[in-house]
Structure 1
Amino acid sequence: MQMLAIVPAADWLAALWFFAVWVAYAWYSRRASESGVTLLASTNRWRRRWMLQATSRDPRVLDGIIIQSLSSSPSFFASATLIIIGGLLALLGTTDKAAEFVREIPFAARTSMLVFELKVLALMAIFVFAFFRFTWSMRQYTFAALVLGSMPAPEAFTAGHADREHVAARAGKLVGMAAETFNDGIRAYYFSFAALAWFFSPLVFAVAAAVVAGVLYSREFNSQVLHVLRD
């Protein structure tokens, strides 16, 4: 109750709106992917085709190189996220100077030191979430590499000793799950830019959350890349 009294109502409403937009968009995007209308769904179809091609190759060195290349992206972002979290922890030790700098911005709202620290902690929580998603994506790519390495030889599929469609679907599903988890981390990065707007004012924060959701929607549902990848 004391925390509710210290933090202004406008900040609470803006924060609730921010997380509601984030959760609602993530839920909507996941449901839409099941219908096959998103960028992720389109790329998942290509991943399945890729794994079908992999079942006819021996050795599968090229496929292993591709998976290793794909896993390098979440690895890079996981490392960058740790640096950002470390910077935010350092910022907590000098919040007085940082808050003074923000107060000097003409259109920035004046807040107490406690509220400023809460905003930093909220931003840190976003990057912690992103770090967990990136590292889980890395592990999922490892699992996909294991499935790829354990694929039977092309002759086994030709002879009917193994189901080509089933093996390709399982491997493609794993790669798609890794890509979806990586997408969650990237989405957190996008919304972290909206969270930065909270240091200026709750209104700018709320508007920024809606703008970020709009940008994500345009890229996942109506981008030129999506039109190219669609069958």
Structure 2
Amino acid sequence: MRLDLLQVDFLAPLFLVGAWTGYALYADGGRRQTLMARMRDYRLAWMRQMMVRDNRIVDTQITSLLVQNISFFASSAILLIGGLVAILGAREQAMAIIADIPLAAATPAGLWEIKVLLLALIFVYAFFKFTWSLRQFNYVAILIGATPPPEEAGSQSMTWHIERTASVASRAADHFNKAMRAYYFGLAALSWFVHPWLLVAATLWVLVVNWRREFRSHSYMLLGEAGEPVDGPQGRPDQQESP
């Protein structure tokens, strides 16, 4: 059965949502060897190094840098949401601009508003993820300040505190990663304004980009696999002899 353009226009966003949800379940579920999983080991190593430092200014500076980066993206999400709301009030002008793009598909007024609302919803989701990540990194800063003195290193209470701090930092980073993923799929959703088949192609492209960065990127290879010692084999992975 051949689908007409209007049917594809309604099915394309379902493909986007399904692909996004499926990838999130695949990448975040279980204990897969991902870039994020490997970084959890490095956060735990960071907290262990922080434990033995008398002066923990460097740790608070790292946390402050992470908070600044997240604040930038959260502010950007608010600006994008405001711009999309403004587009709803200037529908005719915006539709005229899109209509001038070669191969752009004609869109009914009601469907146009659905497209804008979908994009706004994606960035609202990203904003909430960014702000929750921001709050959790603030908690990390407090936990760093509450770390016992180095003399208590090796005690059970210190071990629990270090693991707890690393876990909160990892959860904050996970929410930041999900918010960035929303940005990627939001950019794919932007192509829906031009043509529904372009949305399908952009969604597939975003899936490939996300998968490669989390599972096959050069950074992933350099950092090693989750569970390996952080100070494991010396030298770059691409310079080691193959077995």
Tell me the TM-score normalised to structure 1 length: 0.92
After superposition, residues 76-87 of structure 1 pair within 5 angstroms as 76-87=72-83
After superposition, residues 216-231 of structure 1 pair within 5 angstroms as 216-230=210-224, 231=228
The offset of 1:165, in angstroms, is: 3.1
> What are the Cα deviations for residues 53-87 of structure 1, in whole angstroms up to 9, with x where unaligned?
11111221111111111111111101111111111
* Pick aligned residue for 2:49 from 42, 53, 56: 53
After superposition, residues 107-186 of structure 1 pair within 5 angstroms as 107-158=103-154, 160=155, 162-186=156-180
Note if contact 1:58-1:154 (Cα within 8 Å) is conserved in structure 2: yes
Letter in 2 for 1:217: W
> Which residue matches 1:4?
none
Unaligned runs of 5+ in 1: 1-6
Question: Which piece of structure 1 moves more, 218-227 or 147-156?
Answer: 147-156
The offset of 1:167, in angstroms, is: 2.0
Whole-angstrom CA distance in 2 between matches of 1:163 and 1:227:
34
Letter in 2 for 1:29: A
Unaligned runs of 5+ in 2: 229-243
Note if contact 1:52-1:164 (Cα within 8 Å) is conserved in structure 2: no
Note if contact 1:103-1:109 (Cα within 8 Å) is conserved in structure 2: yes
Whole-angstrom CA distance in 2 between matches of 1:148 and 1:46:
16
Letter in 2 for 1:9: Q
Whole-angstrom CA distance in 2 between matches of 1:29 and 1:167:
28
* Pick aligned residue for 1:19 from 17, 20, 27: 17
Letter in 2 for 1:147: L
2:194 matched to 1:196? no
Tell me the TM-score normalised to structure 2 length: 0.87
* Pick aligned residue for 1:39 from 35, 42, 55: 35
- SS state at 1:105 partner: coil
Q: Runs of at least 4 residues of structure 1 off by over 4 A? A: none
2:241 matched to 1:211? no
Note if contact 2:148-2:158 (Cα within 8 Å) is conserved in structure 1: no
> Which residue matches 1:62?
58
Question: Which piece of structure 1 moves more, 211-220 or 99-108?
Answer: 99-108
* Pick aligned residue for 2:7 from 6, 9, 29: 9
> Which residue matches 2:237?
none
Whole-angstrom CA distance in 1 between matches of 2:39 and 2:220:
9
> Which residue matches 1:95?
91
Whole-angstrom CA distance in 2 between matches of 1:73 and 1:119:
29
Letter in 2 for 1:169: E
2:22 matched to 1:28? no
- SS state at 1:8 partner: helix
Higher helix share: 1
The offset of 1:168, in angstroms, is: 1.7
The offset of 1:154, in angstroms, is: 0.9
RMSD, matched Cα:
1.4
Instruction: Report percent identity of matched pairs.
Output: 38
The offset of 1:143, in angstroms, is: 1.0
The offset of 1:202, in angstroms, is: 1.2
Letter in 1 for 2:29: R
Whole-angstrom CA distance in 1 between matches of 2:34 and 2:104:
37
- SS state at 2:153 partner: helix
Whole-angstrom CA distance in 1 between matches of 2:77 and 2:107:
27
